[in-house]
Chain A
Amino acid sequence: MLGEGIIKGLAETARNFFGSYFFAERLTTVEYPEERIAPFEAARVFPFLVFDGTDALAGLRCTSCQICEKECPPKCIYIEKSKDKKPDYVGRMQFYPARFEIDIAVCMSCQICVEVCPFESIKMNTEFELATTDRFGGLLLDRDQLAKPNSYYQKIHPAEAATVDARLGEEKAKFAAKVKATSDAAAAKSAAKALEGANG
């Protein structure tokens, strides 16, 4: 009948109107600056660099391989390789970034850098309150601003961080075993050589 749809629509809006005073699901607004909801685990804003331990520079996972810099579609990453080397998270000697800068005014949060990183070094942050009064310097994050401890990563992306930690632990154990094996072999060799020398 004519007008049926109007009655239905009016009933629905009336339900919303009166329901909004009684049921939270009919009034979903979060009054942001005063109220906040916990950030979602899958949220991503801009990338940051993960470091292990407490010293940001010593624990930085980044080996300055520059894959992310090359892959970045808007070219917002700038990396300068170091001259010297430092041990990475497994203990191998690697380069580290002397400079690592991300211009978050340019970054488009595509997460490609995260996907290409072979060292689990660059991850997406959930921090979104990044407004600044300086639109050039303030939006250009340098290495020290980007470096965040692994504990922070575990806090913002718990599930993801757990798999990453498991994988890195495995790798570390494997490397340690390999190091042990080579050192054992070397020890055995030198022992054998010593023995030979003594014999000879």
Chain B
Amino acid sequence: MIGFFDQIFVLLQHWIVSFLPAAWQSAAGVLLAVVAIICLFPALFALTTVFERKGIARIQNRLGPNRVGPYGLLQPIADGIKSLTKEDIVPMSADAAVHFLAPVVMVVAVFMGFAVLPMGRNMVLVDMDAGLLFYFAIGASAELAVFMAGWSSRNKYSLLGAMRAVAQMISYEVPLLLSGVTVVMITGSLSLTKIVAAQNHYSYGLPHWYIFTPWGCAGFLMYAIAATAESNRSPFDLPEGESELVAGYHTEYSGFKFALFFLGEYLAMFSISGLGTTLFLGGWSAPFSFLNWVPSWIWFFSKLMLSIFVFIWLRGTLPRLRQDQLMNFAWKFVLPMCLLNLFVAAAWRFMGDGWLRWVVCSAVLIAAYVTLGWSEMHRGKIGPRSYRYAE
């Protein structure tokens, strides 16, 4: 029975496919999984928009949307109808073809990332050996869509937003990759299913997730920072800083194209959270061995929702960074920490079992964090802002 609920979607897929002739079965199975992903994540996006608005409202002592349907839960439907019925404006001097393609490329690139994410036991669309590599390659092409949008709109705000977005995404792509590399170093595989399998065993009922190791904890923190910047979320939402750039690279988009950008952004957030879950939080494995009876996909999606909650929480808490602070933070703090983390992970790998590697690795990382953070704050590069007023 436990196995049945765990594998319910896999069995459902096999059952539906079994009605088809043998030659079509594998293609139909893939198609079915694709349709499931394409339906599921936009639905999750719709839910997330309303929960985000409500959560941020609560953080700001407000109620949030509560007029459309019970507790405002039908708000995304109203928003969808609104964006579908709005006029689709293409600026007269815009490059119409690229302007049209940009949101499509964005959504397609983001959807591709879901192909390699293991969402449960045996629930991965393409079990690729180089899954992580594929994910990062596809994830980087979302930047192209952003720049296409900014460039083709022929609007200074769009272009500025796109330039900012590209600068930011490329800067944070490096720490994102490097924090992922530590996991590859320890696991010895680029396959995401193997990475989950490597974390899915327990001692004393506690899991061997990578976040519970010194290098994994540091790597996860760096990954979380880079992922926030990659998905253009607050406090790294400079590309669409509405107080400076109207709406950044999607200023000239209206109606459903705008909704597609919005969708793409949230899907990118989901997929990057899913990857973080897979790399550091044990993917679909249960947090305690006695909870193994709960279906694996429930664990994956609860971890995903938890990360999204943290994203929303951060958005409700932190103000936006300045461009120079953003760059300083990426190149002078996150990147050195990631590089150091590579050495720490290597040390962890070769020091063998025992308490010594825990002490050494944690000490190195904490010392580096404190000294690097202190020196950067001392030089005024990152850390609290100081204001000088006109005399």
Q: Which residues of A contact B (CB under 8 A)?
A: 1-3, 5-6, 9-10, 12-14, 16-17, 20-21, 26-29, 31
Contact = CB atoms under 8 A, between A and B. Distances in A.
B309 to A, nearest CB: 10
Nearest to A18: B58
B376 A20 contact: no
A2 B318 contact: no
Interface in B43-61: 55, 58-61
A17 B382 contact: no
A9 B370 CA distance: 20
Contacts of B373: 1-3
A29 B59 contact: no
Contacts of A6: 317-318
Q: Which residue, B58, B60, B62, B369, has most C-beta atoms of chain A within 10 A? A: B58
13 contacts: A1-B370, A2-B333, A2-B370, A2-B373, A6-B317, A13-B59, A13-B316, A16-B58, A20-B58, A21-B58, A27-B58, A29-B61, A31-B63
Given A1-B373, A1-B374, A2-B383, A13 B317 contact: yes
Nearest to B64: A29
A14 B313 contact: yes
B377 interface: yes
B384 interface: yes
6 smallest CB-CB distances across A and B, nearest first, come from: A2-B373, A13-B317, A20-B58, A13-B59, A9-B317, A17-B58
A13 B373 CA distance: 24
B313 A13 contact: yes
Contacts of B383: 2
B313 A28 contact: no
Interface string B289-316: 0000000000000000000000001101
Place the interface of chain B in its size category.
Answer: 20 to 34
A17 B63 contact: no
Given A5-B384, A26-B61, A29-B63, A17 B55 contact: yes
B59 A17 contact: yes
Given A6-B317, A9-B318, A10-B317, A27 B63 contact: yes
A99 to B, nearest CB: 44
Contacts of B59: 13, 16-17
Contacts of A29: 61-63
Contact of B61 (A1, A10, A16): A16
A32 to B, nearest CB: 12
Contacts, number: 51
Interface string B315-326: 011100000000
A20 B59 CA distance: 8
Nearest to B221: A3
A28 B62 CA distance: 7
Q: Which residue, A6, A13, A20, has most C-beta atoms of chain B within 10 A? A: A13
B374 A10 contact: no
Contacts of A10: 313-314, 317
Nearest to A6: B318
A200 B374 CA distance: 116
B17 to A, nearest CB: 44
A181 B316 CA distance: 75
Interface string B356-391: 000000000000011011101100001110000000
Given A3-B373, A9-B317, A10-B313, 4 more contacts: A6-B318, A20-B58, A26-B61, A27-B62
Nearest to B333: A2
Q: Which residue, B59, B317, B370, B377, has most C-beta atoms of chain A within 10 A? A: B317
Contacts of A1: 370, 373-374
A19 to B, nearest CB: 9
Contact of B374 (A2, A27, A31): A2
A31 B318 CA distance: 28
A9 to B, nearest CB: 5
A20 B374 contact: no
B68 to A, nearest CB: 14
B377 A2 contact: yes
Contacts of A2: 333, 369-370, 372-374, 376-377, 382-383
B340 to A, nearest CB: 15
Nearest to A3: B373
Nearest to B373: A2
Contacts of A5: 384
Contacts of B377: 2
